[in-house]
Amino acid sequence: MSEVAVITGSSGGIGAALVQTYMDDGFFVIGLDRYPSNNTAISDYASSFAELDVNLHTFAKENSFRAKILQKIRGLIPVKPTKLVIVNCAAEQILKSVPEISWQDWEASFAVNTVAPFFLVQGLVKELEETSGHVINVSSIHAKLTKANFTCYAASKSAIEALTRSLALELSQKGISINAVAPAAIATDMLRAGFIDSPEKLQELNSYHPSKSIGTPQEAASFIKAITDHEGGFLTGAVLDIDGGISARLYDPF
């Protein structure tokens, strides 16, 4: 197997769907997550999946831990891979009002959502360059359109979009394509957690989207993989929305 995908947050909603999508296409997948996968379908692809127990907060902050994880990843990548894809999908979503937010909340949000993706790409630049690889940073609609209590999350997702553009400026000349995908509401556990006190509003959320539905993890995973299937390096530095049309809708009293 010479095509490899490194996926952070591989046990989460979109992450698990990404693992399945890439394995279905014959990729060897390296999953990074602090929680073990509960994806029973992975057993059918036992030789196609390797899982590393990684706390991305620690990965972002501690040089020795980061070096150890990067060494493990390199050890799992086959000799002379034909393609390397990195999808930075893990996310820390802290929901607090402005008076409640602490320095630790800022640190955790940016460590996982922005800094860890940078160091993962930095650590695998050589392998990405050798394969004209692809990087997808999973952002969020909250980078542009947000709401109360999402301050840390929205700021860190805006930062990952800026990081995507900056990385593209420097690394695209090496043949590496680096883009971001910004989903709106996707039916994941993280989304449901934001509606834990008002489950009826989660149902109402469907009607707010022009598509009349929120997205599924499988839709998001297929969209991301289609981008990394794209040949050539001209698509780079872009932020691509998958949002059911909601970012095109203006809500006002008229």
What is the pLDDT, as a whole number, of residue 151? Answer: 98
CA distance 193 to 175: 39
Contact 153, 95 (CB under 8 A): yes
Average pLDDT over residues 77-84: 93
pLDDT per residue as tens digits for the range 175-195: 999 999 999 989 887 777 767
Query: Does the pLDDT value for residue 215 go beyond 70?
Result: yes
Enumerate domains of the chain plus CATH numbers. 3-244 (3.40.50.720)
pTM score, whole prediction: 0.93
Q: Which residue has the higher pLDDT, 238 or 40?
A: 238
pLDDT reported for residue 1: 62
- DSSP 8-state symbol, 174: G
pLDDT, mean of residues 109-127 = 98
pLDDT confidence bin for 53, thresholds 50/70/90: very high
155 confidence band (pLDDT: 50, 70, 90)? very high
How many whole angstroms separate alpha carbon 159 and alpha carbon 240?
Answer: 15
- Mean pLDDT taken over the chain: 92
Measure the CA–CA gap between 37 and 71, rounded to whole angstroms: 22
pLDDT at 218 over 80: yes
* Calpha distance 189→138 (Å, rounded): 16
CB 237 within 8 A of CB 179: yes
Of 85, 156, 73, the closest CA to residue 114 belongs to 156
Residue 117: band (very low, low, confident or very high) from pLDDT cuts 50, 70, 90: very high
pLDDT higher than threshold 70 for residue 42: no
